[in-house]
Structure 1
Amino acid sequence: MILTDEIRDRLITAAREAARRAYAPYSRFGVGAAVLLSDGSVVTGANFENASYGLSLCAETVALATVSSAGRLADVLAIGVIGGAMDAEGIARGLTPVGPCGRCRQVINEAAQVGDRDIVVWCGAAEGDAVDRHMLSDLLPHAFGPRDLQ
């Protein structure tokens, strides 16, 4: 599948919609993620915080866990991520692209190694048109993964 601008826009739009469902009462920072699978389907996730902060889940992890639960981890081609400080209505705002945290880069790497491909990561702003394109291998060089356990 060719990853076109239209696919990028579809993922960023889906990530923005997912961010509207973020449960972030502590950080007030909403994040949405949208994962593109090889058949063109999209799976989304939003961050899910917990009063015991260490138990919180990032949007990318939620989306990829859903993909894995469906037995589709090897089918991940790309992921779109957006985030920003939440306004009074709980909507993520901001014009600066947000990228995956280090933990999420490692989780995305699991899908990359299982699928034997580098994954495109589009980092978008919660508002506006700013989107940065990265390859996971650039965001997480020399990654540790399933191949290292063989």
Structure 2
Amino acid sequence: MTDDATRDELIAAARDAATRAYAPYSGFHVGAALLLKNGDIVTGANVENASYGLTLCAETAAVAKIANEGWIGELAEVAIIGGRPDGDDLLGSDPVNPCGRCRQILNEAAERSKTDILVHCASGDGMAVKSYKLSELLPAAFGPKDLGLIE
């Protein structure tokens, strides 16, 4: 398990990313921060679309960034935060969990990274954090290993 300082740094990066969310329809800002094996942090925020099905979740946006940079196999840990903005703060007292689609997207990167990554889910106010192994959030996942693409 990660140390508290690393977890807190990831949550802060996710909170910063959430400030850049484009969420004119839901008003719910989500930020994700991915810790890579080399210690770098890559972030993403949700990007909504008038055609709701085309909306990108924060986790998906961040994973797309690492995939486009060739770092898809370098994922070590994830933090997610979300809530309704109130000035520079996010409101919300319950941890925000990744949706089913994002759990699958994260699984792809985790399998490529050959690790059961930690996922830290934080409330908008940052007061509540729950940490899970991805395998707890997505048991019996289907991924590249099932297609024989990785061992």
Q: TM-score range by the shorter chain?
A: over 0.9
Of residues 126, 129, 132, the one that matches 1:128 is 126
Contact kept in structure 2, 1:19 and 1:91, CA below 8 Å: no
1:82-135 deviations in Å (ceiling 9; x for gaps): 011234x48531121101000000000001111111010000111132110100
Contact kept in structure 1, 2:89 and 2:125, CA below 8 Å: no
**Identity between Structure 1 and Structure 2 (%):** 55
- The residue aligned with 1:98 is 96
- The residue aligned with 1:66 is 65
The whole-number CA distance in structure 2 between the counterparts of 1:94 and 1:117 is 30
Code of the residue aligned with 1:131 in structure 2: it is V
Give 5+ residue unaligned stretches, structure 1: none
Shift of residue 11, structure 1, vs aligned partner: 0.3
- The residue aligned with 2:138 is 140
1:46-81 deviations in Å (ceiling 9; x for gaps): 000001100000000000110111111111000000
1:19-45 deviations in Å (ceiling 9; x for gaps): 000000001110000000011000000
Contact kept in structure 2, 1:11 and 1:42, CA below 8 Å: yes
The whole-number CA distance in structure 2 between the counterparts of 1:83 and 1:128 is 9
The whole-number CA distance in structure 2 between the counterparts of 1:108 and 1:91 is 26
Code of the residue aligned with 1:38 in structure 2: it is K
Pairs aligned (count): 148
The whole-number CA distance in structure 1 between the counterparts of 2:4 and 2:78 is 13
- The residue aligned with 1:78 is 77
Code of the residue aligned with 1:82 in structure 2: it is I
- The residue aligned with 2:15 is 16
Contact kept in structure 2, 1:29 and 1:92, CA below 8 Å: no
Match of 2:33, SS state, is strand
Code of the residue aligned with 2:34 in structure 1: it is V
Contact kept in structure 2, 1:14 and 1:34, CA below 8 Å: yes
Code of the residue aligned with 2:126 in structure 1: it is G
Contact kept in structure 2, 1:81 and 1:123, CA below 8 Å: yes
